[in-house]
Structure 1
């Protein structure tokens, strides 16, 4: 959940939201004249804590702005779980941030055409933990009109998931501009889950419930996972690579998927 770091009320509300991570935003959500005050407020929020098990992430301004380097320097040791760097177009952008952040976990927003061309090298950058699809800015850079089905974005979304899996990174889908729990928002969340994203970035509390529904394992998936794990646990199946479960053939690769589903259910 993105929250403007300039809005104290929003930050306080974020402490009770049913989301996995809170991203205090110093970039797009903050006007130029409010950047300094927003940074101070974000640092105070991190020091005060109260976010529970939610990850607390700081989205800094790009390093080529007048605020970016100071944002990164202020984040070091301030209590954030990661720093989200916007407008990452080349591995050098991440390396420059790493020089300031040290060993602090780094997340990268992929929101330019140049970033798509450099995606494998970006994902291979040491210390990178998460890739976030910046779909609004990417659409602007491409000069495309995504529409409800996000058709022009689909190859790029698939590429982001693919490179994240190859490098064992978290992959987060871009934000939706639909600010209510509607069929359109549910469809976009479901699309992101079907593509393999780990979650979706959000900009309004009303988006949390449909996102959680889309990315949580369904009851059918849960029952399938329990059946697969139980079947492979039987002594007769200990040495088998493929067995029959519920009239279907499942292999040990399916066992890994079943275990992942059960782990997600346990986390909910």
Structure 2
């Protein structure tokens, strides 16, 4: 379960086989870097990508960006070697693809335990298969098990469309039941969830609309395939100044001595409950974390 609130508005995939991209990532205004060994890397470049990612993390320079390595699935020829290298590199998290069940994450977590991986090393789970959609609740529940280390869901909408034959049309009507199921499963497990990629990175209007949709659904951020998507993504997933000020007013009001025992009060002519104060605390924490990043 996420222990510290940190912004995860943007998570940019960077192919591990591209050394220039790994270096450029150190200069980008991005919350999370997904250093990829899987889909973005050709089979004959897997070994190179693994070495370059390990060397890049060892060299440092990524600042307060959250660094995540996406490995290949364990049932591929590269999966176990990827996992060993990722444990040794010790990023912030390892992104596990093709998670079909809680047992898949428990298996990876067990391997981390055998290797005595630091407790700070977390697991993220790609939600991208029909089985994952059917087992979302059980997978999300791993977030409540400290032994599993699960911290975040990442929606793999391209693979999900491929496996289910559902169309990725504007508005994502066919995807909506699965997306919202995974949001609910993530929240039940106390973890974050990131929306899938938007493939047409030149379509700024369509991308902005899908970011806004993801934010409305309760996603914490979105996975990206190009740096030009960063600014509109941050606009959509950052709390507005009005939201921040409203959250502060609610919290300030509930902290007044005369409101200490009340479950509901009036603020600016509106009835608010303590649950709104709790929601507001997260808004404030996210805003403060974003501001701290500069």
Give the TM-score normalised by the residue count of structure 1: 0.97
Deviating 4+ runs (over 6 angstroms): none
Q: Distance in 2 between matches of 1:122 and 1:232?
A: 36
Any conservation in 2 of the 1:25–1:60 contact (CA below 8 Å)?
yes
Match of 2:214 in 1: 192
Query: Residue 207 of structure 1: which of 213, 223, 229 is its match?
Result: 229
Any conservation in 2 of the 1:58–1:75 contact (CA below 8 Å)?
yes
Any conservation in 1 of the 2:141–2:188 contact (CA below 8 Å)?
no
Q: Distance in 2 between matches of 1:108 and 1:154?
A: 19
Cα shift at 1:91: 2.1
Q: Distance in 1 between matches of 2:40 and 2:177?
A: 28
Q: Distance in 2 between matches of 1:64 and 1:72?
A: 12
- 1:135-214 matches, within 5 Å, as 135-180=157-202, 182-214=204-236
Any conservation in 2 of the 1:5–1:38 contact (CA below 8 Å)?
yes
State the aligned residue count: 268
Match of 2:282 in 1: 260
Query: Residue 236 of structure 1: which of 249, 255, 258 is its match?
Result: 258
- 1:1-268 matches, within 5 Å, as 1-102=12-113, 103=117, 104-125=121-142, 126-180=148-202, 182-268=204-290
Q: Distance in 1 between matches of 2:124 and 2:162?
A: 21
Q: Distance in 2 between matches of 1:122 and 1:196?
A: 18
Consecutive unaligned residues of structure 2, counting only runs of 5 or more, are: 1-11, 143-147
Give the TM-score normalised by the residue count of structure 2: 0.88
Q: Which moved more, 1:201-210 or 1:86-95?
A: 86-95
Asked which structure has the greater RCO (Cα within 8 Å, sep 6+), the reply is 2
Q: Which moved more, 1:237-246 or 1:87-96?
A: 87-96
Q: Distance in 2 between matches of 1:239 and 1:197?
A: 33
